[in-house]
Amino acid sequence: MTDRLLFNFSYQFPGVVWNTVAMPDHHVLLLEIRDHALKSVSFSAIQYAENKILWRDFSLEEPWWINLAGASDGIILFNAYTETSNPDRKAILAYDLGRKLRWWRNDFSMTSVGQDHVRGVVSRLGLQEIALDLHSGEEVPLKAPVAMDTSMVILPAQYPEGTAHFETVKTFLSQKLNLMPVLSLEYTEHHACIMISYYVMENGLANYLLVMQKNGAVMMHEKLGEQLKGIGLGTFFILSGCLIFVKNRMELVSYFL
C-alpha cells in the first residue's frame, strides 16, 4: 500500500452538488446540481470507470421543483412536484441515459426502485400502493421487493455526539492527531483503510475527511467545507473501489483506494 491515495478525478460544477445516485450496472454516477440564486436545477452523468462526463447541465422543463429520485438498469427517475405547497403531490418521469423521455406518470409518489420496477403511492382512491414497469411505466402486479445490488456502493456509518462509537473515535483522533471532533462523525473501513469524516469548530463549523492506514499513517486529510450551517449525511462514499466526496459544495472529487 502506498503512503498516499492516488488521485482519480475532480469535476467542478456551477452550483451545489445536492444529490448523487449511482448506477453501478452501467458504471455511471448521476448528479443533481442546484443553483439557489437562480432557482434552477440541472443534472450531469459521469462514466466513472472511464473517467469521463457522459453529459452535463441537462435541464428539464420544470426549472426547480424536480429532483433526482433514483436509477436502475439504464433508467433515470425524477420526482416532479405538481403542487409546490404540498410535497406529497408528485409525478414521476423516466429518462434513459441518452436523455430521452421514456414515460411519465402523474399522481405517483415513488417509494422504492428495484431491478425491473418502481413502487409508489397514488392518491386517486385514497393512498394505494402500485408498481410500474421500469422501462415502460405500465402498471404491473405488486410483488415482493427484489433488493438491488448495492454491494458496489459503501456508505459510512454515522455516529452522533454522545454515543459510545463517537466517543471511541473522538479519543482516537485526540490521541493520534490532537483533534477535537464535535456533533457527529461518519466512519467506515475498507480493506486496510480507515475513513473518518468529522467536524471541528474552526472559524465556525468545518468538516474534514481523514483517510488513514490501520497503523495510523495518514493517507489523505482534506477539508470538505467550512463555515457550515449544520452537519451533513453521507459526506463520502465508496463506489467500485474509489473514494468519492463533495468538496466546497461544488466540486466532486475521487481517489483510488
Mean pLDDT along residues 118-144: 90
Kindly report the pTM of this predicted structure.
0.92
Mean pLDDT along residues 141-154: 70
Confidence of residue 148 (pLDDT cuts 50, 70, 90): low
Does 147 have pLDDT greater than 60? no
Give the closest residue to 148 by CA, choosing from 128, 118, 121: 118
Q: Per residue in 92-118, pLDDT tens?
A: 999 999 999 999 999 999 999 988 999
| pLDDT of 107 | 92
| pLDDT of 27 | 93
What cell was used for 127? 393512498
Does 25 have pLDDT greater than 70? yes
| pLDDT of 197 | 98
Q: Which residues contact 205 (CB under 8 A, 6 or more apart)?
A: 182, 183, 199, 226, 227, 228, 229, 230, 231
Confidence of residue 127 (pLDDT cuts 50, 70, 90): confident
Give the closest residue to 197 by CA, choosing from 165, 245, 150: 245
- Pairing verdict, β 193-201 and 139-140: unpaired
Q: Per residue in 199-225, pLDDT tens?
A: 999 989 999 999 999 888 999 999 999
What cell was used for 138? 405500465
Alpha-carbon distance of 115 to 251, in angstroms, equals 30
Does 126 have pLDDT greater than 90? no
| pLDDT of 231 | 96
Q: Which residues contact 60 (CB under 8 A, 6 or more apart)?
A: 43, 66, 78, 80, 93
Q: Which residue has the higher pLDDT, 125 or 73?
A: 73
Identity of the amino acid at 42 = S
Does 230 have pLDDT greater than 70? yes
Give the closest residue to 98 by CA, choosing from 74, 63, 70: 74
Average pLDDT, the chain: 93
| pLDDT of 152 | 78
Which domains are delineated in the chain? Answer: 14-140 (2.130.10.120), 156-233 (no CATH)
Sort residue 231 into left (φ over 0), alpha (ψ -120 to 50) or beta: beta
- Pairing verdict, β 109-113 and 16-23: unpaired
Confidence of residue 30 (pLDDT cuts 50, 70, 90): very high
Q: Residue written as cell 418502481?
A: 118
Q: Per residue in 176-202, pLDDT tens?
A: 999 999 999 999 999 889 999 999 999
Confidence of residue 8 (pLDDT cuts 50, 70, 90): very high
Please state, in angstroms and as integers, the Cα–Cα distance from residue 72 to each residue in 26, 111, 116, 118, 213, following that order.
9, 14, 8, 9, 34
